[in-house]
Structure formats: structure tokens, C-alpha cells
A and B are shown apart, each in its own frame.
Chain A
Amino acid sequence: MKKEAFFYVFQGDLIFCAVFLLGIKPTPMEDMLFYDRMQFAFTITFHYLFPQLTMGLSLMIVWFKWKFLRTQIENYNEAAKFWMKIFAINFAMGVVTGIPMEFQFGTNWAKFSELTGGIIGQTLAMEGMFSFFLESSFLGLFLFGEKLLGHKLHFITGFLVFLGSWASGYLIIATHSWMQHPVGYEILENGKFVLNNFGALFSNPWLLPSYLHNQLASIITAAFVVSAVGAFYLLNNKHSDFGKLFLKTGVIFGLFSSVLVAFPTGDLVAKNVVKHQPVTFAAMEGIFETEEGGSEIVLIGQPNILEKKLDNKIAVPNILSFLTYQEWDAEIKGLNEFEPNTYPTNIPGLYYAYHIMVGLGTIFIGLMFLAAIQLFRKKLFTTKWILWALLFMVPFPYIANTTGWYTAELGRQPWLVYNLLRTSEGISPTVSSGNTLFTLLGFIGLYLLLGLLFLILVGKIIYKGPQTIKH
């Protein structure tokens, strides 16, 4: 029993160590699983750097265009045009890195696709039919059609691109929600999942909180990017009019989204986890043992799996119980109450991902709050330290979004479909690890190139700045 527990807890990390540090050869199946997971993790992490900006930024561009239609102030239109240039490159990166995601369900996760395709195939096919066609048809019109269409129709094409990207997010999260909390299915004798209630896919209690949480997080990314560019222009004394416009808009969007992402949406997502995946919740929060009289909230500490405790812990008593159940002494189950073979495979990874997300989220609220106060007092544009802080904040919403998704995905392990289908049962049976490593290396090289190109081109656009209107 003890040996088995040890094996499961360490499975994820052991394979990693074995391959990279010790050179010990795991079994061929473990090897295949490892590289399949690595490739998916790498390609999805890189991919999602782009759609999070696409979704948030499309909203802000539509907002700029809308303000222009309402006020006829030319700078709003120029702002929309400026961000559209960045949007175009960002969108293209999202598309080209997104297609490999759909393919990989079949190439690397064939068994998973075979068993669940009748269900998740629905939502994924709907994504292609409802959102990709919408986005791709109107993106061309949006990017090249301003003169051809006039401002009102141009606004509408922008809105349709925004709608398409948000619909895409919705259908992806519907798919994700089914994997986290399967509904509306039955399992046949041959192990296949078949749909018996289409509506249940969309009334899944997991779906709405996760969707709103995710969309707000993507607005945070866009808001921080927009305000950072604004701060850059002001600190640089270039394009100051636009700098002010970007800062004002970015800070307002940023404040609202940072607050809403934590409460109520983040809170609702956490409540779903506590209710449906209590063992994941225990691992996320770093609770090894159930605490009598209410659980403390851990701010800092390193999970020590060997001794089943947190090292160097700083915690506040009873807060977690209150946040979770609104009762100071409510009991929250620790890892000790669950079977070790249901533990998330990488407990420290999950714990850190979650804490980084929450920590950064708190900083976002604080910074945007201060910036908003200064904006209200009409002092934001001269408060240098806030401008510097906003400028340096750019990578962090990306990190928070990524770690947020790591929390969801590592939290679901060792399952593909929670409690029903293990990750190890989902891989392609005939694709050897050597072939997967080959393609993984290819993706790493190619994406490195894409990342560099993106930075160079977007850097160039930002440096050049929006077109200033000559009076």
C-alpha cells in the first residue's frame, strides 16, 4: 500500500527526473505518455499566449471604434486602427498555433478521441462551424475594409470578429468543462462515452463560472498590454495623446476585470472544485491534513511531499474555511482523507500554479486600484512610479493566465475525464515516443521562431506608434 501510494504521488515527477536527470529508462508506455503530455503542454501553453490577447483586445478595439462613432473624436479611430495592426499579427499567431491543437487530439490522444469523440467532437466541431468561419470571414473585411465599408459597417465587422473569438472560447470551455465535470453521457460496454443529453453540455454547472473567469482574465491581459503601451509613450514623451488615451482605457478595463476575475467568478470556480474535486482542492491549497476547527489559508510555503507538510509556511488561520463555506470553523478535507491513487499527479506543480495565479491576481487588483485613484484625481499621467509599474507588469497577466490554466489541468490529473478515464489510457497506442519527441522538438524550434517574429514585429509597431492627426 505504502509503495503504491509513493508511486502514484510521484508518477509525474519521477518520469521527468528519470528521463532528464538520471537517464533511467521508464517503460515504453510511460515514455509515450510523458512525451505526449509534454508536447500537448508545450503547444497549448504557447498557443494560449495569443488567444487571450485576441479575445480581450477585440473587445477593446470594438470599444475604441464605438467611442469614435459616438464622439467622432479622430483619436479613438486611430487608436482602433493602431491596435488592429497588433491584433492582426496576434490573431495570425493564434490561428497557426491553434490548428495543431485540434490535430493533436487525433495524432497523440487517439484513444481519448475514440472513446469520447461522440461528445467532445460535438463542441469542437461546433467551434469550427460557428466561430472559425465567422472570425476568418470578417477578419479580412475588418482589417482591409475600412474605406470600402464605411465606419458603421466597419464597426460591425469588428464586432463580429469579437463575437467569433468569444464564441470560440465558449465552446472550448464547454469541452473543458465536460472533461472536468462530465454530464449528459453514458458509457457503453466497449468503454465508449456516448451523448444522451445535448443540452447538458451547455447547462453544465462547471461551464459558466469557468467561461466568465477565463474571459475576464483575457480582458486583464489586454488591459495591461494597452496600459503598458500607454505608460511607455508617456514615459518616452512620444505620442502622449495616445499614451493618455490608452492608459485611461486600460486602467478602467483593468480595474473592473481584475476585481471581477477574483470575485465572483474566481470564487465560483473554486467552489466548483471544492464540491466536485475535493482532492484537487486540498492539493491546490496545500492541505495535507484535515484541520480541526477550520482551515488556515496558506500564503507562502513549499510542499514537502516526503514529510506530507508545507515547509516555511506563512498562513492565516480560519480564512480558507470562511472563504469556502462562509463559516470560520467549516471543515475542509485534507489529502489524508483520499485514496493516494486519486491524488493529482503533480501536487507541488499544482500548488505553485494556483498560488502564483492568486498572488498575481491580488497584485493586479492593488495596482489597478491605485492607478484608478490617481486617474480619478487626474494625477495618473504624472505619477511616474505607477507608469513604470504598469510598464513592467506586461508579462504577468500572461503568467497568471497560464498558471490559472495549469491549475485547472494539473488539478484534473491523473484523469482526462474526471474520475472516469485516466490520462494514461488516452494516448495513441501506435505512436512511439521517438516520433513524438521528433515532432515536439520540431514544435519547439518552430515556435521559438514564431515567438521571436512576434516580438520583433509587434515591437516595431509599438515603437512606430499610432498615426498622429495633423490639424
Chain B
Amino acid sequence: MELFWYIVLMCMLTVYVILDGYDFGAGIVHLFFAKTEKDKKAITNAIGPFWDANEVWLIAAGGVLFFAFPTLYAASFSGFYLPLIMILWLLIFRAIGLELRGQIHNKIWETIWDKAFGIASLLLALFFGIALGNVVRGVNLGMVTDGVSAHEPHYFFLPLWNPTFSPKAEHLGIIDWFTILLGIIGVIALTIHGANWIIYKTNSELNSKLKSIIFKLNFGLLALVVLSLFIWHIIEPQPFHNFIKTPWLWVFPIITFTGLFGLFKVRTFKKDGMGFLFSSLFLFGGITSTVASIFPKLLPSTNTTNPDLTIYNMAADSYGLSIGVNWFIIAVILVAVYFTIQYKVFKGKMDNVGYGEH
């Protein structure tokens, strides 16, 4: 049962990153590369009818985390208190930036909400990358000093940073040079992903420019991914032991690199959706490879006093988990129906949706 809900949770989070990821990416493209009103319109039209439903995957995943792994939910949400609340604030700015921009036709008003939308998207991509870094690196569970826990073994609290910015310090911070590296990877990967979505959903004049931007950014992404793999060894001495034990897991890293190398061909794809497919493969592979490498850990412990949080010591009681399967299957079928309808109605190019016009 734990394994089932673990897979469900990871699937939901992956879907969230792929779906809301293109919204964040579109926001970053909007911030840096959209110069004309026409470019901006193309971008907001491409994500307008979708972003809200995409964000629901985060909330629903949060709900499933709460229900299936309540102890993990409690420990990690309170431990990562400040960045989580800041993510909430950024989500608010992203949403009102998108929704309120078109309400008043005035240059200053539009500029304010354009920037709110763009900057919030950029910071969200950065924060989610940093979050992944924190999960890989682990935290000081129980807040141990000199072998003595200050709290129950699964609770912790992380400040935003410690003065050394080192992932090997005894008292860690959210932001250190390892997590910030993953944050930057997140920003670049989602920028590429969002640009691919815009190419896929619009006939914008921006598209050809975006293709060459994706091509250039992809070199940076490749370099950083390789760099992070080297650094990974410092954080986790045996990052491959799950892969050695269960060789079929290699499929995930292979998917990652298929996506990554496929993106170099972005300028010659015949179909506009191909780029989006490859960046989705990269995100999917990246997350699943990371998860596969730390399984069954959910949050590693950086001290030797308290054990890692794993799917086995964090799960809710089995009656609740089994009964949840019933309603969850019904719900997933319904969600699939909603999404099919939604993407059918808004299929193809969306230059004329008129999102946000009143």
C-alpha cells in the first residue's frame, strides 16, 4: 500500500512539474524575450485556459501527501516553513499577474502585472529546483547537536541559508551552493520547456527566435547537468546503488538524456510539438532518476542519530490507505475525462483565444 501511494504521489508531482512547469517557463520567456504586445499576447493565450488547472496538481499532490504520508507532510512543511510560505506568495503574484492584467487597459497597470507574472514565474522555477536539491541533500532531522536531538526524530527547521552556504555544514540552510545549482538547472530547464510550449501552441513571430534560444540554452543545461552529477558524489557517496541493484531503473536516466540530446535538434523539427515532447521527457526522466536514486528514502537524514524518513516509517495506517484507493481511482478517471475535454476544446494553436480580454 505504501508503495502504491508513493508511486501515485510521485506521478502527481511529475505531472505537476511538466504541466505547471510550462507555465513557469512561459512566464520566464515573457519576462526576458517578449518585447512586443503581440509576443506577450501569444504567451498568455498559450497558457491562459490551462494554468489554473495545472496548479491544482500541486494542491492535489499536497492533499495526497497529507493523507498518505501525514508525518512527512507535517515534518517537511514545518521544516521548510519559510520557502513554502514564499512559494505561496509567489503563486499568488503569478495568478493575479495573469488574471488582472487584462482588467484595465493602461500601460502602467499592464507593466506592473507583466513583471509580477514574469518575476514570480522565474523565482518559482528557482525555488522548485532548490526544493529538489534539499530533498536530495537531506536535512538535520531532529535538529541534532553533538549527538543529541532537540526535537522528535522527524522534525527539523531550516533557515533560508547558513553563512557558509555549504551543503556539508552541520547546520544547513535551504540555499547552499548545491541546491542553488539545482535551482539554476530548474530555471533553464523550465525556460526551455515553456518556450517549447509556446512554439507548440502558437504561430507567434517569436517562435523562430525561441528555437535558437532553446538551442543555446540547451548547451548550458547539458553542462550544468553534468556538473551536478559530479557534485552529487560529494552529497551522496553512492548515488547509483539502487541502479546497480535494479538495473531496469537505468531507463530513467536514459530518458533524461534522450530528452536533453533531442532538444539540440529543435531548429529542424517538422512538428511544433516535438520540442515540447523532448523537454517533457527531460523533466520526467530527471525527476524519476532522482527519485529512483534515493528510494525508498523520502527525506534523508544528515546526522547519524536519527534515521532517514522513508515511505515505510512515514505512511498512514493501512485501513485508510486501502479505502483511499477506491475513491482515488474514481477521481483519477474523472480527472482524465476533464483534461481530455479541456485539451480537446482548446486544441491546436491558440493565437485567437483572447485570454484576459474583457
Contact = CB atoms under 8 A, between A and B. Distances in A.
A110 B77 contact: yes
Interface in A334-367: none
B227 interface: no
Contacts of A460: 103-104
B89 interface: yes
Contacts of A428: 74, 78, 81, 155
Interface string B268-294: 000000000000000000000000000
A245 interface: no
A216 interface: no
Interface string B236-274: 000000000000000000000000000000000000000
A446 B85 CA distance: 12
Contacts of A110: 74-75, 77-78, 155
A121 B68 contact: yes
Contacts, number: 217
Given A92-B95, A117-B67, A129-B335, A442 B60 contact: no
A450 interface: yes
Interface string B307-344: 00000000011011001100110011011001101100
Contact of A107 (B63, B77, B355): B77
Interface string B29-59: 0000000000000000000111011011011
14 contacts: A85-B358, A102-B63, A107-B84, A113-B70, A118-B67, A129-B332, A133-B338, A134-B338, A136-B55, A137-B339, A195-B323, A429-B151, A431-B78, A460-B103
Interface in A69-126: 85, 88-89, 92, 95-97, 99-100, 102-103, 105-108, 110-111, 113-114, 116-122, 124-126
With most chain A CB atoms within 10 A of its CB, the pick from B92, B143, B323, B341 is B92
A268 interface: no
A103 B317 contact: no
Q: Is the interface of A mostly helix, strand, loop or mixed?
A: helix
Interface residues of B, number: 67
A435 B74 CA distance: 17
Nearest to A134: B338
With most chain B CB atoms within 10 A of its CB, the pick from A92, A110, A129, A432 is A129
Interface in A118-150: 118-122, 124-130, 132-134, 136-141, 144-145, 148-149
A89 B70 contact: no
Interface size class of A (residues with CB under 8 A): 35 or more
B88 A99 contact: yes
Contacts of B339: 137
B323 A198 contact: yes
A330 interface: no
Contacts of A99: 55, 58-59, 88, 91
A132 B323 contact: no
Contacts of B53: 133, 136-137, 140
Contacts of A103: 62, 77, 84-85, 88
A196 interface: yes
A82 to B, nearest CB: 11
Contacts of A85: 358
Interface of A: 85, 88-89, 92, 95-97, 99-100, 102-103, 105-108, 110-111, 113-114, 116-122, 124-130, 132-134, 136-141, 144-145, 148-149, 188, 192, 194-196, 198, 428-432, 435, 438-439, 442, 446, 450, 453, 457, 460
Contacts of A446: 89, 92
B74 A129 contact: no
A99 B67 CA distance: 16
A284 to B, nearest CB: 31
A129 B60 contact: yes
Given A108-B78, A117-B70, A195-B320, A128 B56 contact: yes
B63 A430 contact: no
A465 B18 CA distance: 40
Contacts of B355: 144
B338 A140 contact: no
B185 interface: no
